[in-house]
Structure 1
Amino acid sequence: MKTFFKTIVISDVHLGTKGSKAKEIAHFLKQYRCENLILNGDIIDGWQLKKSGSWKRKHTRFFNRILKMIENHSTNVYYLRGNHDDFLEQILPLQIGRLHILTDMYYESFGKKYFITHGDVFDSVTTNLRWIAYLGDLGYTFLLWLNRVVNHYRFKAGLPYYSLSQYIKGKVKSAVSYIDDYETELAKMAKSKGCDGIICGHIHQAENRMIDGVHYLNSGDWVETMSALAEDHEGNWQLIYYREIDFKGIQIDAQYPLSPQAEANIVPMRQVSFETRDDDEITPPSIRRQ
């Protein structure tokens, strides 16, 4: 099983909420190594922390894992602002060693150029009518609570995990329409920027597909889906789902040597390059048109 990637992208962890799978994401990152780790927004849920959220030790362990990746494996970490961690706007842009905090970024690899953004800037509800987004946040929090109750009894009955929110998003016509519109509009935006693809998060809907010639990638979330995007050293992208990982079959990452680029602490521009924009318990899901 491959455990050493060029780039891993995660988003929508929502640390500080009851729904955040902080232990699982820390466990996930402990098994994998990468040259570049992109935290694509809503890693910390400032909205919930202001209301009823709480910061726990397991949330701190997530950042301890990030620091170990930087120190032990020379991983470059890029933290992009999301709508729930919009407090980062006050310090953007910021670089501390291998840690970069940005609004969004471009990523070039193997001749292809991707625009990476959380995705909330394309959502007029969150941008212009924030009170509606907050109202939706309450509804989603209740739905997640109900989901925990349902799955508690499903677990006792020996049944697999079942996501109520994913079911609703797949059945409610307006939610399905919103997801389709969101993905299509982001693909158009990537094309307008001269990019081959776009990498985003925000709607908690993991995806890896082509839309009108544009490679659309969405890393999903770490509230329910527990998924991440990973690029190998041949430029191929894949979605990794935590529930599908065979942890017993994973080799100790120390057995995987660093690539020549990482050992030299230099990422050749012809393979990977980063640049900032030259133009200048839980995330609201797509259902809420956040």
Structure 2
Amino acid sequence: MNTSFKTIVISDVHLGTKGAKAKEIARFLKQYRCENLILNGDIIDGWQLKKSGSWKRKHTRFFNRVLKMIENHQTNVFYLRGNHDDFLDQILPLQIGKLHIQTDMIYESQGKKYFITHGDVFDSITTNLRWIAYLGDVGYTFLLWLNRVVNYYRFKAGLPYFSLSQYIKGKVKKAVSYIDDYESELAKMAKAKGCDGIICGHIHKAENRMIEGIHYLNSGDWVETMSALAEDHQGNWQLIYYREINFKSLYLPAQTTEDEAWPKENLIPLRKVSFEQNPDELNPPSIRF
């Protein structure tokens, strides 16, 4: 199983909420190496922290894992702003060593360009009618609570995990229509920017498909789906689901340290990256790897 990637993209972790799978994502990141880690929005849920959310030690461990990736493997980390962590607007853009905090970015790899954005900028609900967005957030939080109750009893009965919210999204016609429109609009934006693809999150629906010639990629979420996007060193993208990982086959030998266990010949040297500041947020600087 491949454990070394060029780029890994995760989004919608919602740290600070009860639904966040902080332990699982820290465990996930511990198993993989990548040259670039893109945290594509809603990593911290500022909305919930202002209300009933709470910050726990396991949430801090996630960032400790990210810092170890920077320190031990020289990983470039890009934290892109989402609607739930819009408090980042106060410091954007910011660069501290290999950590970059910004609104969005254009990623170039293997001759292809991808526009990477959380996706809320294309959502008229979150940008124009914030009070409705907050109301929807309350409903989704309740749905997640109900989902935990349902799956508690399913687990005791020996049944597999069941996503109540995904089931409802798939049954409600307006929700299905919204997702289709959302994906189409993002594909149009990528085409308008002269990009070959779009990488986003926001709607908690993992996807890897073509839309009218544009490669549409959505990393899903770490509240229910627990999925990530990964690009290998040949430029191929895939979705990785936490529940499908065989961690036993990934464990490092007990007699070696994490760094010693990785064959030196498998390590791919990092290329130098140049960054430019562009005042136009709709046309961010290209970043080549």
So what's the TM-score if we normalise by structure 2?
0.92
Contact 1:6 1:231 in 2 (8 A): yes
Pairs aligned (count) = 273
Distance in 1, Cα, partners of 2:86 & 2:124: 16
Contact 1:106 1:274 in 2 (8 A): no
Distance in 1, Cα, partners of 2:276 & 2:166: 34
Report the CA distance shift for 1:123/1:248 in structure 2 as closer, same or farther (over 3 A).
same
Q: Following superposition of structure 1 onto structure 2, how do residues 92-111 of structure 1 map, counting pairs within 5 Å?
A: 92-111=92-111
Percent of matched pairs sharing the same residue = 84
Distance in 2, Cα, partners of 1:156 & 1:27: 24
* Aligned position for 2:183: 183
CA RMSD of the aligned region, Å?
1.4
Is the aligned partner of 1:134 residue 2:142? no
Counterpart of 1:279, as a letter, is D
Q: Following superposition of structure 1 onto structure 2, how do residues 145-224 of structure 1 map, counting pairs within 5 Å?
A: 145-224=145-224
Superposed CA deviations along residues 131-155 of structure 1, whole A, max 9, x for unmatched, are: 0010111111111111001000000
Superposed CA deviations along residues 63-92 of structure 1, whole A, max 9, x for unmatched, are: 000000000000000000000000000000
- Give the Å deviation of 1:255: 1.7
Distance in 2, Cα, partners of 1:51 & 1:142: 14
Distance in 1, Cα, partners of 2:30 & 2:146: 30
Report the CA distance shift for 1:198/1:128 in structure 2 as closer, same or farther (over 3 A).
same
Distance in 2, Cα, partners of 1:196 & 1:94: 27
Distance in 1, Cα, partners of 2:75 & 2:279: 25
* Aligned position for 2:38: 38
- Give the Å deviation of 1:250: 1.2
Contact 1:10 1:40 in 2 (8 A): yes
- Give the Å deviation of 1:259: 3.5
- Give the Å deviation of 1:260: 4.1
Counterpart of 2:228, as a letter, is A
Contact 1:82 1:120 in 2 (8 A): yes
Structure with higher RCO (Cα < 8 A, 6+ apart): 1
So what's the TM-score if we normalise by structure 1?
0.91
For the residue of structure 2 that corresponds to 1:34, the secondary structure is strand
- Give the Å deviation of 1:275: 6.1
The runs of 5 or more residues in structure 2 that have no matched partner are 253-257, 282-289
Contact 1:104 1:277 in 2 (8 A): no
Distance in 1, Cα, partners of 2:244 & 2:25: 14
Q: Following superposition of structure 1 onto structure 2, how do residues 110-129 of structure 1 map, counting pairs within 5 Å?
A: 110-129=110-129
4+ runs deviating over 4 angstroms: 273-278
- Give the Å deviation of 1:261: 2.6
* Aligned position for 1:261: 269
* Aligned position for 2:47: 47
Is the aligned partner of 1:238 residue 2:277? no
Distance in 2, Cα, partners of 1:187 & 1:194: 11
* Aligned position for 1:284: none
For the residue of structure 2 that corresponds to 1:255, the secondary structure is coil
